[in-house]
Amino acid sequence: MIFNFKLLEYSLSSLWRRKEKNIALIIVYALVIATLGSVLLLTHALKIEAVTTLTAAPEIVVQRTQGGRHELIPVTYAETIEGFPGVGKVIPRVWGYYYDSLVKANLTLIGIEGYQEQLELLEGHFPQSPDECVIGSGVAAAFGPQIGDLLVLEDSSKRRSEFRVTGVFHAASNLLTNDLVVLQEAALREFFAMPDGLATDLTVQVYNSREISTIAKKIAYFLPDSRPITREELLHTYDSLFNWRSGMMLAVFASALMAFLILAWDRATGISAEEKREIGILKALGWETSHVLGAKLREALLISLTAFIAGLLLAWLHVFVLGAPLLVPLLKGWSVLFPTFDLPRVVDLYQLTVLACVTILPYLACTLIPAWKAASSDPDDVMRG
Amino acid sequence: MNADIHNGGPLIRIDEVSKIYHHDKPDEVRALQNISLELFPGEVVALTGPSGSGKSTLLSLIGCMARPTSGTIYLQERRISRLPEAFLARIRRESFGFVFQQYHLLRDVSVLDNLMFPLYPAALPFMVMRERALALLEKFTLSNKQKTKVRQLSGGEQQRVALARALMADPPIIIADEPTAHLDAELSSELLGILTELHAEGRTIIIASHDPVVYRSPLISRRIALRHGKLVDENQAAGAEQ
């Protein structure tokens, strides 16, 4: 029966006869799948982005706190930490945030020292003088300058500083470099009026990953005003952040799922009198229950697979081509912090399988169960209604 | 024809059959009560009686489209009334051709496709089905309507399509429920002509009708009268009809 093409022909003809209803059904179904798919694609892309970012992060970052606030850390702390067994390089980093009210985006300004090994240039060269800078692709897109152009920034006293762009970043993670402006350390200290001998934080290289937490405890013990943050803790923070975002997304996901279930329920309970009568006629003509179910299964598969593929394509376009404009309001805080950037175009097959199971299987069940109820009754009963 | 019906015994035997709709509910309807009768190969039987007498229900039971509430139905001495659905479907497909009072054609489907539906489960080659359908359309002078949708046909044409569809699987038994209900005198006469031809081919024909044009036709070899779901004496029934 599987290869009975006449049953497939019947299914196609049946779908065509109710084309207005079926096209409307496919549109609604595809939109629900597009919503569900957008949520899954976006949250997965964000998680991948976060994981990629952390791969390049140092084992420990040491900050200094005073009165619960983050303060600049003395560079001399680096020498103390380097003295601990198992510790490799300790690099003072100089960086800060710069908010541009015109483009409504926060940029991260960093000194090249301490970062050069993590960053890879797409084009150009790293700054070789205090008036040169390298920018992330998001900065280039938001502010417009390309290699050779000037990037103009205002410091806290409204003094304009001009930097010649000498390179644009390429990094495994767009999130890592997208909002970066890299300057020479001296230029950055001048821009942020940061005194010599102090840094924003220290990065600590640990040879043996199993010793990271021990070394972090040692740092906290010997330098009581410091706050060591391990990569594990960063991962946990990112995970919480994206899980929280996912939680917001879950609301959208749940709403879309609810819409789908209503659609499916309507389908399950709403087999029309015309469809029932048709099933009764086919039974009276000698069709077996399995023939009717085979034909209805083909119809349901054609509708659900068409809607699934169309919905996924819409979701892919929405998230990866258009930048998820319908979901961005839920990520508003995040989008203000960073200029927009391209999400990694990664699709998780497991999630797609789950999405297919959540949307296709219930629809098939909701189509087949009422058809089975009608088809397993005596034709006389079905035709009498 | 599909079934071998030459064994001298009854083709169909109905033994103490009752049919109750909505059993044990306030709207219970006793459509048939303890009916027993035998139908023989080659007969043309007319089931007569007023509306609601149980004619259509009896046809449904004979044609395996419904199951009796009690009693037994035999087809060529095989008990069929309690068979599983798949077997009943096969019997309907191979042994019976139905002509319904309301025709029960798929109105938005072409005449040709309507004719081929009974053969879809058999998965015959398309050309075989098509040739058989075209031959029947020619026989019923509907060749020029093969691509026309059923809803565009007249009542008489729909009746002929329904009859052609009933013959697609070449069944030995034709069951017709009020076949002239929507036809004028001329079309009724034409239909009886077709039924006569089918009888001449050796088919058994069972017709439910309260149309005198049908049950007084010379084609009819036996009349079975029903009143309130029970068999009644034919003379008594004839008297009541007059």
Close Cβ partners of B66 (under 8 Å, ≥ 6 residues apart): A378, A379, A380, A381, B19, B57, B60
Q: Which residue has the higher pLDDT, B112 or A250?
A: B112
CA dist., res. B89 & res. B165, Å (int)? 16
User: Residue A340 in contact with residue A241, Cβ under 8 Å?
Assistant: no
Give yes or no for residue B230 having a pLDDT over 90: yes
DSSP summary character for residue A120: E
Instruction: Give the SS3 label for residue A228.
Output: strand
User: Residue B126 in contact with residue B112, Cβ under 8 Å?
Assistant: no
Q: In Å, how far are A61, A331, B2 from A328, measured between CA atoms?
A: 31, 5, 68
Residues of chain A in contact with residue B93, where contact means CB-CB under 8 angstroms, are 285-287
Q: Which residues of B6-39 are buried (b: 16+ CB within 10 A; e: fewer)?
A: eeeebbbbbbebbbbbeeeeeeeeebbbebebeb
CA dist., res. B207 & res. B173, Å (int)? 11
Selected for mutation to probe chain A from B117, B129, B132, B158 (highest A CB count within 10 Å) is B117
Residues of chain B in contact with residue A277, where contact means CB-CB under 8 angstroms, are 104
pLDDT value at position A229? Answer: 92
> Of the candidates B61, B118, B158, B95, which has an alpha carbon nearest to the alpha carbon of residue A283?
B118
Smallest Cβ–Cβ distance between B66 and the set A1, A277, A381 belongs to A381
Surface of A (287-316) touching B: CB under 8 A: 287-291
Q: Which is it for the CA torsion A263, A268, A272, A278, positive or negative?
A: positive
Q: DSSP per residue over A319-348, as a string?
A: IIIS--TTTGGGGHHHHHHS---PPP----
* Token pair in block for residue A135: 């920018």
The mean of the pLDDT values for chain A is 82
- Cβ of A117: how many Cβ atoms within 10 Å? 9
The dihedral region occupied by A338, where left means phi > 0, alpha psi between -120 and 50, and beta the remainder, is beta
Mean pLDDT of A292-304: 90
Q: Which residues of A172-195 are buried (b: 16+ CB within 10 A; e: fewer)?
A: ebbbbbbbbbbbbbebbbebbebe
Mean pLDDT of B120-144: 89
pLDDT value at position B44? Answer: 94
**B126-139 helix and B155-166 helix, angle to the nearest 10 degrees:** 130
Selected for mutation to probe chain A from B91, B103, B105, B106 (highest A CB count within 10 Å) is B106
CA dist., res. A7 & res. A346, Å (int)? 39
Which residue is associated with the tokens 């034909």?
A: A295
Residues of chain A in contact with residue B92, where contact means CB-CB under 8 angstroms, are 283-286, 379
User: Highest mean pLDDT: which of A173-187, B31-45, B227-241?
Assistant: B31-45
Residues of chain B in contact with residue A6, where contact means CB-CB under 8 angstroms, are 116, 119-120, 123, 126, 129
Q: Which is it for the CA torsion A343, A349, A352, A358, positive or negative?
A: negative
Distance from CA of A262 to the nearest CA of B (A): 29
CA dist., res. A133 & res. A147, Å (int)? 10
Surface of A (2-21) touching B: CB under 8 A: 4, 6-7, 10, 13, 17
Least confident of A1-5, A143-147, B1-5: B1-5
| Half-sphere exposure (Cβ direction) of A351: Cα atoms closer than 13 Å | 16
Q: pLDDT tens-digit profile of A123-170?
A: 778 888 889 998 887 787 777 778 888 888 888 778 888 899 998 876
Give yes or no for residue A5 having a pLDDT over 90: no
| Contact between A284 and B90 using a beta-carbon 8 Å cutoff | no
Selected for mutation to probe chain A from B107, B111, B120 (highest A CB count within 10 Å) is B120
DSSP summary character for residue A84: S
Which residue is associated with the tokens 């009796």?
A: B68
Give yes or no for residue B208 having a pLDDT over 90: yes
pLDDT value at position B35? Answer: 94
Among chain B residues, the shortest Cα distance to A290 is held by B86
Instruction: Domain B42-56+93-240: give its CATH superfamily.
Output: P-loop containing nucleotide triphosphate hydrolases (3.40.50.300)
| Contact between A289 and B123 using a beta-carbon 8 Å cutoff | no
Residues of chain B in contact with residue A284, where contact means CB-CB under 8 angstroms, are 63, 65, 92, 98, 100, 104
- Cβ of A334: how many Cβ atoms within 10 Å? 13
Inter-chain Cβ pairs, chain A and chain B, closer than 8 A:
80
CA dist., res. A113 & res. A186, Å (int)? 10
CA dist., res. A129 & res. A138, Å (int)? 23
CA dist., res. B193 & res. B186, Å (int)? 11
Q: List the beta bridge partners of residue B45.
A: B206, B222
- Identify residues of B whose CB sits under 8 angstroms from chain A CBs: 57, 60, 63, 65-67, 85-86, 89-90, 92-94, 98, 100, 104-106, 108-109, 113, 116-121, 123, 126, 129, 165, 169
| Contact between B89 and A282 using a beta-carbon 8 Å cutoff | no
Smallest Cβ–Cβ distance between A281 and the set B90, B104, B119 belongs to B104
| Contact between B121 and A288 using a beta-carbon 8 Å cutoff | yes
User: Highest mean pLDDT: which of A214-218, A265-269, A376-380?
Assistant: A214-218
Distance spanning both ends of chain B, measured CA to CA? 39
pLDDT value at position A2? Answer: 43
Kindly state whether A272 is in contact with chain B, defined as any CB-CB distance less than 8 angstroms. no
Kindly state whether A120 is in contact with chain B, defined as any CB-CB distance less than 8 angstroms. no
Instruction: Give the SS3 label for residue A45.
Output: helix
Mean pLDDT of B34-38: 94
The dihedral region occupied by A159, where left means phi > 0, alpha psi between -120 and 50, and beta the remainder, is beta
> Of the candidates A108, A109, A67, A114, which has an alpha carbon nearest to the alpha carbon of residue A90?
A114
> Of the candidates A180, A204, A225, which has an alpha carbon nearest to the alpha carbon of residue A114?
A204
Domain ranges (residues) in chain B? 42-56+93-240
Please, which pLDDT band fits residue B41 given cuts at 50, 70 and 90? very high
Rg (CA), chain A: 30
Among chain B residues, the shortest Cα distance to A383 is held by B104
Instruction: Give the SS3 label for residue A165.
Output: strand
CA dist., res. A350 & res. A33, Å (int)? 16
Q: pLDDT tens-digit profile of A176-189?
A: 677 888 899 889 99
Smallest Cβ–Cβ distance between B109 and the set A13, A286, A381 belongs to A13
pTM above 0.90, yes or no: no
Three-state SS sequence of chain B = CCCCCCCCCCCEEEEEEEEEECCCCCCCEEEEEEEEEEECCCCEEEEECCCCCCHHHHHHHHCCCCCCCEEEEEECCEECCCCCHHHHHHHHHHHEEEECCCCCCCCCCEHHHHHHHHHHHHCCCHHHHHHHHHHHHHHCCCHHHCCCEHHHCCHHHHHHHHHHHHCCCCCCEEEEECCCCCCCHHHHHHHHHHHHHHHHCCCEEEEECCCHHHHCCCCCCEEEEEECCEEECHHHHHHHHC
Mean pLDDT of B197-215: 91
Please, which pLDDT band fits residue A55 given cuts at 50, 70 and 90? confident
User: Residue A375 in contact with residue A289, Cβ under 8 Å?
Assistant: yes
Smallest Cβ–Cβ distance between A287 and the set B67, B121, B126 belongs to B121
CA dist., res. A368 & res. A267, Å (int)? 10
Among chain B residues, the shortest Cα distance to A293 is held by B121
Residues of chain A in contact with residue B117, where contact means CB-CB under 8 angstroms, are 10, 282, 285
Element spanning A207, H or E? none
User: Residue B46 in contact with residue B17, Cβ under 8 Å?
Assistant: no
Give yes or no for residue A321 having a pLDDT over 50: yes
User: Residue A319 in contact with residue A38, Cβ under 8 Å?
Assistant: yes
Please, which pLDDT band fits residue A335 given cuts at 50, 70 and 90? very low
The dihedral region occupied by A165, where left means phi > 0, alpha psi between -120 and 50, and beta the remainder, is beta
Domain ranges (residues) in chain A? 5-53+237-384, 59-229
